[in-house]
Amino acid sequence: MACSGRRQPQPPEVEAGRRTPDGKGVEALGAQTMLRVFTSFEFVFLLHMMNEIFGYTNDLCNALQKREQDIVNAMDLLELTKVELDVLRRDAGCEEFLKNVTFFL
């Protein structure tokens, strides 16, 4: 294929020293984009949701990883985890969760 004289895209580490038309560096532009993403409602909501669910399931996960754990205790933890997740899914739990997410923003 013949060279068309057009500049080929460079990897990010090569592009890092380049400037955009408004004078900002490519790294600065990337940082601004990441800041917008990290402060978006969707990102914060998903992060809080993961933290909440992992908090509920942590004890159950730890119990299931222990070989000497008795099955009755594991079943109790499973039932407790189901109840906690059900509370989160209901209106009161959901409202409290959304309040925490919006407070963070």
Residue 38 CA to residue 13 CA, distance in Å, equals 23
Q: Per-residue pLDDT tens for 14-36?
A: 455 566 666 667 888 888 888 88
Q: Is residue 60 part of a domain?
A: yes
- Asked if the model's pLDDT at residue 8 lies above 70, the reply is no
Could you give the C-alpha distances from 105 to 29, 49, 93, 99, in angstroms and in order? 22, 14, 19, 10
Token pair 């990441």 is at which residue? 34
pTM of the model as a whole: 0.56
- Cβ-in-10-Å burial (0-12, 13-18, 19+) of 45 comes to middle
Q: Per-residue pLDDT tens for 59-75?
A: 888 888 876 667 778 88
Three-state secondary-structure class, residue 79: helix
Name the nearest CA neighbour of 105 among 32, 37, 34, 41: 41
Q: Is residue 49 part of a domain?
A: yes
Q: Is residue 96 part of a domain?
A: yes
Q: Is residue 64 part of a domain?
A: yes
Q: Which residue has the higher pLDDT, 54 or 62?
A: 54
Least confident of 2-16, 28-42, 66-80, 84-98: 2-16
- Asked if the model's pLDDT at residue 9 lies above 50, the reply is yes
Note down the domain range covering 57.
40-104
Q: How many domains does the chain have?
A: 1
Instruction: Give the model's pLDDT for residue 31.
Output: 85
Secondary structure letter of residue 19 according to DSSP: B
